[in-house]
Structure 1
Amino acid sequence: MTTTISVALCTHNGAKYIEAQLRSILAQSVLPIQIVVSDDASQDGTLSVVHGVLGTAQAEAVGITVTVLNHVKNVGVTSNFERALLACTGDLVALCDQDDIWHLDRLESARRRFEDSPELLLLHSDARLVDRDGEALGYSLFDALDLTDEERAAITGGRGFEALLKRNLITGATTMIRRTLVDRATPFPKPWVHDEWLGIVAAATGRIDLLPEQLIDYRQHGTNQIGVRRLGIRGKIGRIFEPRGGRNLYLASRAAVMASRLALLGDLVPERITELADGKLRHLKVRAELPDGRLGRLAPVLREIRTGRYSRFSRGRGDILRDLLQPAGSTR
């Protein structure tokens, strides 16, 4: 039986780029059976472009069902993707931004990996980063993320949950999931963005993986709803000295939501994963309770270093330096 694919495409004032994205979907070597377009209160004629490109007769001619969801009031990116994903009916769902361009084999390459790996719940790939005019920026998505060999090995080796506990590595625009994951992951909790939450639930209840190939052109143009920014050395050092504010408290609140939501999934979540989620929460509670004075932070930070939790649940030396050196302030 052929594995079917839906596309979950979310839009918001995307008229400038949406036609190119839609035509790249229609040009795929393996076509989807369904395209769900969920529009978040666009005011620039986005849906007119969508209807023009995906006219009923044209879509039906190649066997694609088009579902258009039109939201009168703005709901935001994460809620918009939730609505789009819930409307998808294919065995697999490819997430899609409004302003990118898919390479011809994006769906075929991803579907092949799913068919070869029954336990796989989420797959993401590298992407070629391009500017507003589609010109290559000279580096890839994985380059911009500073994806390390250790992180690659964790994801491809069945330790994706451990990798995602430290930081999000999932970019929705390059992601394909099994439809069953939608039911496990929804409703999306408010402290989390849709793609990172899908990654957490997939890694907790199954397996995630990555493709090193660049399967889309990922457009960066200053008005992206969600994009990627490459930090240089000065930017990374600057983060260490940003005012602390409520950042650690915010991270602890996210960890609390993660632990409670995973508990609701019962036997789908192995005991090992539950213990890791609880350990992450304990670690971030310690970080959230660090005093404002730098000297007072030294003892609790040293205790966390000795437990190894900075390396297991945070960004290691970078977060140690942050917690020791950041001044008190109001920046998250």
Structure 2
Amino acid sequence: MPRPRALFSGIPRHLLSPIPDPPLSVSVALCTYNGARFIREQVLSICQQTRPPDEIVISDDASSDGCVEIARQTVAACNSERSGGSIALRVLANATALRVTKNFEQAVRACSGDLIALCDQDDVWVPDRLERMVAEFERRPDLLLLHSDARLVDAERRDLGQSLFHALEVVPIELERVHGGRAFDVLLRRNLVTGATTLFRRRLLDEALPFPVEWLHDEWLGIIASAIGRVDLLEDQLIEYRQHDTNQVGASRDAFLDKVRKAIGSRGDIHVKRAYKAELLLARLLELKEKVSAETIEKTRLKLQHQRYRAALPASRVARCAPMLREIMTGRYDRFGRGFRGIVRDFFEAP
């Protein structure tokens, strides 16, 4: 019996084009808590994106001010004016507050999109934020998480004259390393990922869930993503990051006197907590086995050693000198902390 001819065998090869991949779907994970004052502006800025999301998932943390109903009405009004398809809305209402990290965990678990945008209730997105960020994921299949800079504004959206990266004192070498595929090295020193500016592939949740309550959701997603894949940032200010008196997590650049007060303030249990966070990170990375390189595991072990050393420094400043000198010689203050700033703080901090 003769072999059947291929279906398109008579068509010249140059006329055949590959079937394009379907567009990536986008979910917005919006967490709310008594946000009636600002929620309408935020939801409007989401619905009016040049590339709107496919769904918004609201996880409300036991609000009592009607903010969820305002959000519902705003989405409904936007959908009634849209010529295209509607933006789906799902609301999860907590009778008892879960707090920030677990509330965001609940929200992202409920998202169905290929990409998930984390969203605070009190910010405002620039109109092409999603379009620009989604384009990066479509162009770069290896990209797992992307975040951006933001413009800091006050409660009335007046410009505060600085950006989020300025407030965080981000330096050129950190930007260079993130762009060059070394985000893990940067994030192991300190977190630069602000959830309100972040978009990530949903598949990241396979490794990142559950979120440990000792970590903020955004720093956890950032460090896990950088350990198993590519993390990058956009230096453009793609949201207005509102700073006001009820921020749960805000951003401001410390003045010189604030830095001095921190340096000579009480050590408390901050270094113990940081050591425990490093333990949790190492444990999770070990669970991921071949998804994490041996080099990444070793860096995390060294970070944990550094944090344990800082937690165990003696109360006496004089007695700290010898162990601090040994630690300085290892270079770990620079690799896993803020360098000279960390050295000064460890020496001058009160017991």
TM-score range for the pair, normalised by the shorter chain length? over 0.9
Instruction: Give the whole-Å Cα distance in 1 for the aligned partners of 2:104 and 2:132.
Output: 23
Moved over 4 A (4+): none
Q: What is the aligned residue count?
A: 328
Aligned to 1:242: 265
Aligned to 2:145: 122
**AA in 2 matched with 1:2:** P
Instruction: Give the whole-Å Cα distance in 2 for the aligned partners of 1:300 and 1:288.
Output: 12
Aligned to 1:26: 47
Q: Decide which of 43, 47, 61 is 2:68's aligned counterpart.
A: 47
- Aligned-partner SS, 2:302: helix
**AA in 1 matched with 2:32:** T
- In the alignment, structure 1 residue 171 sits paired with structure 2 residue 194: yes
**AA in 2 matched with 1:319:** G
> What is the CA distance between 1:221 and its match in structure 2?
0.6
Q: How does 1:264-283 map to 2 (within 5 A)?
A: 264-283=287-306
> What is the CA distance between 1:183 and its match in structure 2?
2.1
Aligned to 1:4: 25
- Aligned-partner SS, 1:137: strand
Aligned to 1:62: 85
Aligned to 1:180: 203
Q: Which has the larger radius of gyration?
A: 2
Identical aligned residues as a percent? 48
> What is the CA distance between 1:232 and its match in structure 2?
1.2
Aligned to 1:77: 100
Aligned to 1:88: 111
> What is the CA distance between 1:155 and its match in structure 2?
0.9
- Aligned-partner SS, 1:262: helix
Cα distance per residue 1:30-53 (max 9 Å; x no partner): 011111011010000111101211
Residues 275 and 308, structure 2, Cα contact 8 Å, conserved in 1: yes
Aligned to 2:221: 198
TM-score of the superposition, structure 1-length normalised? 0.96
- Aligned-partner SS, 2:105: helix
**AA in 1 matched with 2:176:** A
- Aligned-partner SS, 1:215: strand
- Aligned-partner SS, 1:188: coil
**AA in 2 matched with 1:175:** T
- Aligned-partner SS, 2:301: helix
- Structure 2 stretches lacking a partner, 5+ long: 1-21
Residues 56 and 66, structure 1, Cα contact 8 Å, conserved in 2: no
- Aligned-partner SS, 2:239: strand
Cα distance per residue 1:284-321 (max 9 Å; x no partner): 11111111001111111111111111110111111111
**AA in 2 matched with 1:108:** E
Instruction: Give the whole-Å Cα distance in 1 for the aligned partners of 2:350 and 2:62.
Output: 40
TM-score of the superposition, structure 2-length normalised? 0.91
Instruction: Give the whole-Å Cα distance in 1 for the aligned partners of 2:78 and 2:149.
Output: 34
